[in-house]
Structures are given as structure tokens and as C-alpha cells.
């Protein structure tokens, strides 16, 4: 029993110490999954996805995805190099693809592999709207949100082991109740707030990227209002959601616009 608790505590301590610096916020983020570990898997999954889905090539919309993506990538490189993070993007293999799918969605895998679904284009409407989306998705990849979620998931599993160890002397029914309570508490108190934090962070960083790329960050507000209108207001309460509410998101973006413009001004981009 004592040995199990000691090993669990040692494991938790090791994981907690495994932090990386966020180049955009300066904060220390929990992350013990390296790019060398996650990139090869992400690239393979991306290639498989493209084989299984219809990729749109040679259209104005497809070219717009590539154009905006390249500008966002260049903005990220400018920011990182100017702030002492030369070489941060080593190993990234940027790719931008438009995929035929009615889903209102877009994503960027670790290492810069981007997909935009055709279903989101009526809401993005123009390059500024698309830059809002792609800046947000690229931000997730730049600060390793995927790796952080993997790290947090492993911590959650360790916590479950800890509950099992602590309740090992109780009845099977009591152990099950404790495990269920832990599952609910860790989801509402840990996983969901963690995810909402990532969304807010990606919004803020995405604003900076789109601004440096030459797109007015004020236009991000218009896009997210269109997204909220498209959702029909059917989202769950914010504390039960992986994403901030539409109103919270718009308010946070409006608050962060001045900083995005100030960052862009450092590179000679003014609005």
C-alpha cells in the first residue's frame, strides 16, 4: 500500500514538473509529450484523412485557403523569431487543404497540417473570416494544445488510480461510488475548464496572428457572431461545455483586439 502511494506520488510529481513555456503568453504549460512523439502520428493520420475524403483543388475557395494559411504561417514565424523563439517551428510540415464536407468545421493537427471544410465557408464569407478560423486553429497547434490534452488525460488516469488506492479497503459498491464521483468532478472541475481555457487562448493568439498577417482583428467579432447565429442557440450551459459561450467568446475577443493591433504594429501593420 505504502509503496503504491509512493510510486503514485512520485509519478504525479514528475508529470507536474514536465512543463513547457508558451511562447505567446510566457506561461508554463503542462506538457510531457514531445513533438518528436506526436508529429509522426499526426502526419500519418492527416495523410490517411486526405485519402478518405474529397480534397478540393484548383478552385478559388481552395486557393483562398492556401493563401490565408501561408499568411498565417508567415505571421507565426515573424512573431516567434522576433520574440526569441528561432527554430520553434522546426519539424512543422505546413499543409492547407479544403475538403468537401457540410460540417461547419476546420482544424489544424500538430505540426501544421490544416483542413478547412467547405461547410464553414458560407460563414467565413471572405479572407478575414477565414483568417479568423485558421488563426485560431493554427494557434492550437503552435502552443501544443493537443499534447497538453494528452498530458492532462494521463494525469486524470493517475488520479483515478489514486482514488482506487485510497478506497481499496472499502466495499466494491463504495469504491464504484467514489470512482463515479471522481469522474464527474474531474470532468466538470478539470477537463472542461481546461478545454475552455485552450479555446480562449487560441482566440487570443489567433487574433494576433491574423493581425500580423494583415487582417483587421475587428472582423473576428463579425465572424463569431455569425457562428453564434448559425448554432441556433442550442449549446449546453458553459460550465458543461468544452467551448466558451458565444457571448463570452465575443466579449473576450473584443477585449483582446487592442493587444492584437499593438502586436501587429510592431511589424508595421496598422489598422
Q: How far apart are CA 179 and CA 100, in angstroms?
A: 42
Under the phi-then-psi rule, with left for phi > 0, alpha for psi from -120 to 50, and beta for the rest, what region is 18? beta
**Which pLDDT does position 94 carry in this prediction?**
96
Residues with pLDDT less than 70, the chain:
1-20, 29-33, 145-169, 173-196, 232-245
pLDDT at 29: 65
Residues ≥6 apart with Cβ < 8 Å to 165: 1, 4, 5, 8
d(CA 183, CA 71): 42
Report pLDDT for 54: 98
What pLDDT score was predicted for residue 110? Answer: 87
The catalytic residue positions are: 137
**Whole-structure pTM value:** 0.74
End-to-end Cα separation, the chain, in angstroms: 63
Q: How far apart are CA 97 and CA 22, in angstroms?
A: 27
Asked if residue 144 lies in contact with residue 20, where contact means CB atoms within 8 angstroms, the answer is yes
- Coil, helix or strand at residue 183: helix
- Residue 237 is given by DSSP the state P
pLDDT at 235: 52
- 2, burial (CB in 10 Å: exposed 0-12, middle 13-18, buried 19+): exposed
Query: Which pLDDT does position 3 carry in this prediction?
Result: 43
pLDDT score for 160 = 52
Q: What residue spans of 2-144 are helical by DSSP H? A: 2-16, 35-52, 60-82, 121-124, 127-142
Q: What is the pLDDT of residue 162?
A: 55
pLDDT of residue 244: 62
Determine what percent of the chain falls in helix, strand and coil, rounding each to the nearest 5: 65, 10, 25
Going by C-alpha positions, the residue among 130, 140, 50 that lies closest to residue 97 is 50
What is the CB neighbour count within 10 angstroms for residue 197?
A: 14
Cβ neighbours of residue 47 under 8 Å, at least 6 residues apart? Answer: none
Fold of 2-265: Collagenase (Catalytic Domain) (3.40.390)
- Residue count of the chain: 271
pLDDT of residue 130: 97
**Strand, coil or helix: 53:** coil
Amino acid at each position: 500500500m505504502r509503496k503504491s502511494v509512493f510510486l503514485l506520488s512520485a509519478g504525479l510529481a514528475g508529470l507536474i514538473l514536465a512543463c513547457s513555456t508558451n511562447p505567446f503568453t510566457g506561461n508554463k504549460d503542462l506538457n510531457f509529450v514531445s513533438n518528436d512523439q506526436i508529429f509522426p502520428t499526426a502526419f500519418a493520420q492527416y495523410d490517411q484523412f486526405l485519402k478518405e475524403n474529397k480534397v478540393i483543388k484548383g478552385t478559388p475557395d481552395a486557393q483562398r485557403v492556401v493563401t490565408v494559411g501561408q499568411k498565417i504561417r508567415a505571421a507565426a514565424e515573424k512573431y516567434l523569431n522576433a520574440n526569441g523563439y528561432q527554430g520553434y517551428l522546426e519539424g512543422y510540415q505546413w499543409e492547407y487543404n479544403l475538403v468537401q464536407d457540410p460540417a461547419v468545421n476546420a482544424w489544424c493537427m500538430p505540426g501544421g497540417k490544416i483542413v478547412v471544410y467547405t461547410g464553414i465557408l458560407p460563414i467565413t464569407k471572405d479572407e478575414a473570416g477565414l483568417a479568423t478560423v485558421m488563426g485560431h486553429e493554427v494557434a492550437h497547434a503552435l502552443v501544443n494544445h493537443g499534447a497538453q490534452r494528452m498530458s492532462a488525460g494521463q494525469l486524470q488516469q493517475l488520479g483515478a488510480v489514486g482514488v482506487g488506492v485510497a478506497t481499496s479497503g472499502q466495499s466494491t459498491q463504495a469504491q464504484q461510488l467514489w470512482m463515479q464521483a471522481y469522474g464527474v468532478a474531474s470532468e466538470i472541475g478539470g477537463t472542461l475548464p481546461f478545454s475552455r481555457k485552450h479555446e480562449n487562448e487560441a482566440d487570443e493568439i489567433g487574433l494576433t496572428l491574423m493581425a500580423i498577417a494583415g487582417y483587421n482583428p475587428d472582423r473576428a467579432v463579425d465572424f463569431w457572431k455569425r457562428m453564434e447565429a448559425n448554432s441556433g442557440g442550442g449549446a449546453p450551459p458553459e460550465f458543461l461545455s468544452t467551448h466558451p459561450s458565444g457571448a463570452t467568446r465575443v466579449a473576450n475577443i473584443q477585449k483582446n483586439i487592442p493587444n492584437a493591433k499593438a502586436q501587429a504594429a510592431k511589424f508595421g501593420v496598422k489598422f
